[in-house]
Amino acid sequence: MKMLENKKALVTGSSRGIGRKIAEVFISNGCEVWGLCTKPSKAKEDLEKLAADNGVKFHELNCNCADFAALQECIKKALEEADGFDILVNNAGITRDGLSFAMPMENWKDVIDVNLTAPFLINQIISYDMIHRKKGSIINMTSISGVHGEAGQVNYSASKAGLIGMTKALAKEIGKRKVRVNAVAPGFIETEMTEAVPEELRKEWVKIIPMNRAGQVEEVANVCLFLASDLSTYVTGQVIGVDGGMGA
């Protein structure tokens, strides 16, 4: 039996990077997945084929997470279509890096809107349904930047630290209803986003990682698989680092 057989999941930021790999791993483990991304993605066809090969379905939702009215409507429609989700992964996120003293307010607001407020609204809708069903696993994608802070990322670090606080508070609110809430904090992971980092800086990052390498998206996705599955039924309110020991 596959680890997520007969389960349904909503994964935000599913078109690329970590989010796409989470969707792939969930689908390969028998889960029907609704993936949310801003616009129609190149990944949709591949994910639909993977789902068909595994006897399930993949559904792509398109919505701007910073448009809160549209986001709430989109999530409510998906929830109705799915007739409830067993798993929610809040993975969508953006960066607008820069030193804090020169940061335009729109760069602060954009990051907080997408990385913190949008997950709050999605959690609000999905967790309300989960507590009535008395089951569910919510996974919030934070970052090592949210745990330790990162120069040039005051907005991003603040948003991801806020997501950790949200995770711990929500876990305490709804634990009695058998709904678990955890956070995953990746470190330096090879994605399209990190490919844009200059090579010299990438080398400096690797030097401070005890495992002496960048992480792979499947290594993050596999931790999410554990948290989504029945292998983690007594795990809630936790922040699990996937960082090669960088945050130790």
For 51-63, the pLDDT digits (tens) are 999 999 999 999 9
pLDDT of 201 reads 78
Burial class (CB within 10 angstroms; exposed 0-12, middle 13-18, buried 19+) of 204: exposed
Cα 160 to Cα 236: distance, rounded to the nearest angstrom: 18
Would you state the pLDDT for residue 205?
A: 82
Task: For 14-52, give the DSSP string.
Answer: TTSHHHHHHHHHHHHTT-EEEEEESS--THHHHHHHHHH
Taking Cα atoms as reference points, which of 134, 124, 145 lies closest to residue 76?
Answer: 124
* H or E element, residue 241: strand 239-242
- What percent of the chain has pLDDT above 70? 100
What six digits make up the tokens of 207? Answer: 């030097």
Count the Cβ atoms, other than its own, within 10 Å of residue 218: 15
Question: Any idea where the domains of the chain sit in the sequence?
Answer: 8-240
Of 35, 156, 171, 242, the active-site residue reads 156
Contact 179, 130 (CB under 8 A): yes
> Is position 128 annotated as part of the catalytic site?
no
Q: What's the mean per-residue pLDDT of the chain?
A: 96
Please give the Cα distance from 68 to 247 (Å, whole number).
33
pTM greater than 0.85: yes
What distance in Å separates the CA atoms of residue 82 and residue 242, rounded to the nearest whole number?
30
pLDDT for 130-167, tens place per residue?
999 999 999 999 999 999 998 999 999 999 999 999 99
Rounded-to-integer distance, Cα 193 and Cα 206, Å: 16
CATH number, domain 8-240, options 3.40.50.300, 3.40.50.720, 3.30.465.10, 3.60.40.10: 3.40.50.720
